[in-house]
Structure 1
Amino acid sequence: MTSMNSTLDYANEAITKNLNIFLGLSLSYKISIVLLIPFVYNLLWQLYCSLRTDRAPLVFHWIPWFGSAVPYGMQPYDFFENCRKKYGDVFAFMLLGKVMTVYLGPKGHEFVFNAKVNDVSAEDAYKHLTTPVFGKGVIYDCPNSKLMEQKKFAKFALTIDSFKTYVPKIREEVLGYFKDHLNMDKNSGQVNVMKIQPEITIFTASRCLCGDEMRKKFDASFAQLYSDLDKGFTPINFVFPHLPLPQYWKRDSAQQKISSAYMSLINKRRSTGDIDPKRDLIDSLMAHSTYKDGVSMTDQEIANLLIGVLMGGQHTSASTSSWFLLHLGENPELQEQLYKELTELLNEKGGDFFDLSYEDLSKLSLHNSVIKETLRMHMPLHSIFRKVKNPVRVPDSKYVVPKGHHVLVSPGYAQTSERFFAFADTFDPHRWETSNASSGKGDEKTVDYGFGAISKGVSSPYLPFGGGRHRCIGEQFAYVQLGVILSTYVYNFKWKLAGKLPDIDWASMVTLPIEEDSNIIWEKREGCVL
């Protein structure tokens, strides 16, 4: 005991002595030391990590906490490829205080998407980002089991019978938008696809998913509210979900206004008893949203879920339709091939453009290939995260990802890599005529997470809608929506780029084209219905 007390006295004396030395320094020296300590700690921590054989190699970084945020944020796919060449498919990097373990390629897809829910959590990774946008009690702001049931509730609007009714509604919305916004009195004009496609997709999605009564509440200002919500999905929101900044105020205001619009209609129907579960998703949720434990969703949670569902129906389609219009603007020959495919189908039916049906969409193979190729080159989300709840071993390696770290997978990287797709930088829809990668199934085993059977295999390099329990349930709706939008453009217009193909705006977590460069020049076709 005497020896221990002597040691403590010596330690206290040393600390006091060093503290007095520090306090005796000039202010500039004090500031220098305080600033230097994090950098020294950062280097020592990285040295320690490099000596551990049970951790994935860590990408070196100079700046504490920020880590590799700049190269990752500016060009994530280039960053991944440069790291892969140095470290292999598995590596880790620091991102704004979070250690992200990356596993590239199909094996990484399998590792992350089919991981056990007890080991990795999408809810813990995204909750702080999505809750201010969607609201409480839904999507990632609830246990995973409830999210699976919410997906099941929402599938009312995603049946084949529903899709059949959506085709004429989407066509009507798109043509109406052209008439109101493109000045159809003229035979040609110029438009920015990043201004019109988000509006077209939100109008078509709301008409289909939320019904005619809710659609009437939507106008350009309502579309702007969804745009303000969209801006809640940026890297800074991922780390700091609440800051006193204008974009946060706009996000919160938009969430409240959209939620109030849904609540107004829900309250009206509740008070009058005018609830028809077959009418639209709103009524379906009001009638059928009781969990297995007997607890029903509150009306506010229904409104919040509707925000999430509609954003899901808008996000992918706004990005994808913008990109295929821009790529086709580079390729007039491909536009003519699409026009030929569409008119030949209509001629075989003996009908006109207004006779195009849900069943016909599957026969437009080149149209579907254009959508597939666009999704290959421009998967809406470039990175998908999970937070590790229990230590997980990386298959076929000695690496263990510890609790509290994150795992990251990037199907978008694989889809644009020469390792998996020849001439990956070339927009070539015809590649799908012979490729068997389009299914993304890997194997035919299925699993039901509570919202219907889906393919269990996620080992394909092509997974534009993700995989596993969090796979997007709106894939078929997206193809219907995008198919009608594309065919409506093709039948009525020819178009070309006003400049060069825009770069990707990596500032958002959604891979959108840079807005100021996204202009096309359109010209009416001879058979234009407007």
Structure 2
Amino acid sequence: MPNVSPLYHVLSSLLALFALFQPRNPNSPPCISGWIPWLGAAFQFGKAPLEFIEQARVKYGPIFTVFALGNRFTFVTEEEGIEAFFTSKDTDFEQAVQQTVQRTTSVPAEIFYRNHSRLYSMMKGKMGTSSLYLFAGTLCQELHEHMDCLGTAGTENLCDLIRSVMYPATVNILFGKGVCPTNKGDIKEFEEHFQKYDEGFEYGSQMPEYFMSLANLLEVSYPGNLAAFPWKTTLLQHLLDDLHGKHLAPNYALLLLWASQANAIPVAFWTLAFILSHPSVYKNIMADIGSVFGKAGKENIEISEDDLKKLLLIKWCTLEAIRLRSPGAITKKVVNPIKIQAFTIPAGDMLMLSPYWVHRNPKYFPDPETFRPDRWKEANLEKNAFLDGFVAFGGGKHQCPGRWLAIMEVHMLVVLFLYKYEFILLDPVPKESLLHLVGTQQPVGACRVQYKLRQ
């Protein structure tokens, strides 16, 4: 093999520097590129992403680009950019997420593109507001069953307490009983692997071997134990029926499992944490529960959709918790150059929006850092409309298809927990400054509670 001259290395270095520091197109947004080729500003951004986004917005204006790991991420933070993010035909959601899905679930691009629209439409219909009544009764039974395992009293990390009830209940209503392991030991093992997988999901974390062994359990014959389900099939079965590439059924089943847990459990955690840390809100909720179900206690009550509609304050608390603890960023890919304000965003950029910071715009949410569930009085929830500026579930045609089921799950869980148990919050809710640094909606640090069965 011939020797490579030192001149070659010098020229290569110069070309890399030229590519990094070449004059910026005057129509492009300001770019934060860092000093190291390819790596760019990845270190600064990854160290404290939410702080980085806000500081960049203040310094560079409402539209700016971050060059990191060989990619350009262009952030939009004001109305015109937000509208373009959700409505422009020059951006594409599928292309933005395909590589992450392939890395995390081993679903090839061709299969992903063929399946995505069809599966999204199916799930949107099966978990829409007109279908929630099909889940309500079974969900209530499942939550009761797993709450009964908690005993009469205890001290527990609030997130662990919620997961021990919510994980098996959710799995059983979506997958059917017996498909996934739901005993206490299996839940603990699942939690350890899932948290690692979930924390790295958006960065393309590899599927743990544990999940691959769990996938074998999902290769079951259907219909299975469907007697408890009045619609005679589960969401998993609908997914398998509509799936192109049947050999990838376990991969898609695990993607559904991740989607059912990744956001609903943190939302339930924050909802209860905020309620317990605001005594006046807690007191008003208990009065509302008493007005619907009578004196709170250990009796196993049945909760219908109509009952939940009478307990609006809990729903407001859930939506306010989602507002305050939304994801740091969501993304679409620019497929054709798009003009926003005075800038032209080139094709190939990842267009980024931060729900976390959008939800702190005082134009939409006065006193934005404060937990104020009563602000949701202004939302027309009867017509399933959120407050202006609320983008936690996305927007346009790619809103989260399971949002209404997830809200109902959290709503029902909170009602049953507060009806059956008295809670004392032992640790303070994590400070906002810490959340700015970590850039995540996941629970941060210990948040222990004491609970005991009401007499």
TM-score category (smaller protein): 0.7 to 0.9
Match of 1:305 in 2: 252
Q: 1:370 aligns with which of 309, 317, 340?
A: 317
Match of 2:332 in 1: 386
Q: Secondary structure at the match of 1:400?
A: strand
In the alignment, the residues of structure 2 paired with residue 258 and residue 505 of structure 1 have an alpha-carbon distance, to the nearest angstrom, of 33
Match of 1:511 in 2: 441
Residue type of the alignment partner of 1:400: T
1:45 aligns with 2:10: no
Contact 1:109 1:411 in 2 (8 A): no
In the alignment, the residues of structure 1 paired with residue 404 and residue 26 of structure 2 have an alpha-carbon distance, to the nearest angstrom, of 44
Residue type of the alignment partner of 1:76: P
Match of 1:13 in 2: none
Match of 2:196 in 1: 231
Residue type of the alignment partner of 2:127: L
1:337 aligns with 2:250: no
Q: Secondary structure at the match of 1:318?
A: helix
Residue type of the alignment partner of 1:125: A
Q: 1:401 aligns with which of 334, 345, 363?
A: 345
Match of 1:102 in 2: 75
Alignment CA distance shift 1:356-1:478 (3 Å): same
Q: Secondary structure at the match of 2:219?
A: helix
Residue type of the alignment partner of 2:255: G
Match of 1:453 in 2: none
Alignment CA distance shift 1:88-1:156 (3 Å): closer
Contact 2:264 2:406 in 1 (8 A): yes
Match of 1:452 in 2: none
Contact 2:425 2:450 in 1 (8 A): yes
Q: Secondary structure at the match of 1:93?
A: strand
Count of paired positions = 444
**CA drift at 1:105:** 3.2
Match of 1:272 in 2: none
Alignment CA distance shift 1:492-1:222 (3 Å): closer
Match of 2:112 in 1: 142
Structure 1 residues 493-508: aligned runs within 5 Å = 493-503=421-431
Residue type of the alignment partner of 2:171: S
Could you say which structure has the larger radius of gyration?
1
Match of 2:234 in 1: 280
Match of 2:40 in 1: 67
TM-score by length of 1: 0.73
Cα deviation digits, residues 198-249 of structure 1 (max 9, x gap): 34332122121112242566654256436524533446x656x47xxxxx4x
**CA drift at 1:103:** 0.6
Match of 1:201 in 2: 166
In the alignment, the residues of structure 2 paired with residue 474 and residue 125 of structure 1 have an alpha-carbon distance, to the nearest angstrom, of 20
**CA drift at 1:334:** 1.4
In the alignment, the residues of structure 2 paired with residue 297 and residue 223 of structure 1 have an alpha-carbon distance, to the nearest angstrom, of 33
Alignment CA distance shift 1:101-1:282 (3 Å): closer
The farther-off stretch of 418-427 and 336-345 is 418-427
Q: Secondary structure at the match of 2:177?
A: helix
**CA drift at 1:56:** 0.4
**CA drift at 1:438:** 11
Alignment CA distance shift 1:506-1:252 (3 Å): farther
Match of 2:121 in 1: 152
Match of 1:475 in 2: 403
In the alignment, the residues of structure 1 paired with residue 306 and residue 47 of structure 2 have an alpha-carbon distance, to the nearest angstrom, of 42
The farther-off stretch of 470-479 and 500-509 is 500-509
Match of 1:525 in 2: 454
Match of 1:447 in 2: none
In the alignment, the residues of structure 2 paired with residue 411 and residue 498 of structure 1 have an alpha-carbon distance, to the nearest angstrom, of 30
In the alignment, the residues of structure 1 paired with residue 172 and residue 292 of structure 2 have an alpha-carbon distance, to the nearest angstrom, of 27
Contact 1:319 1:512 in 2 (8 A): yes
The farther-off stretch of 426-435 and 503-512 is 503-512
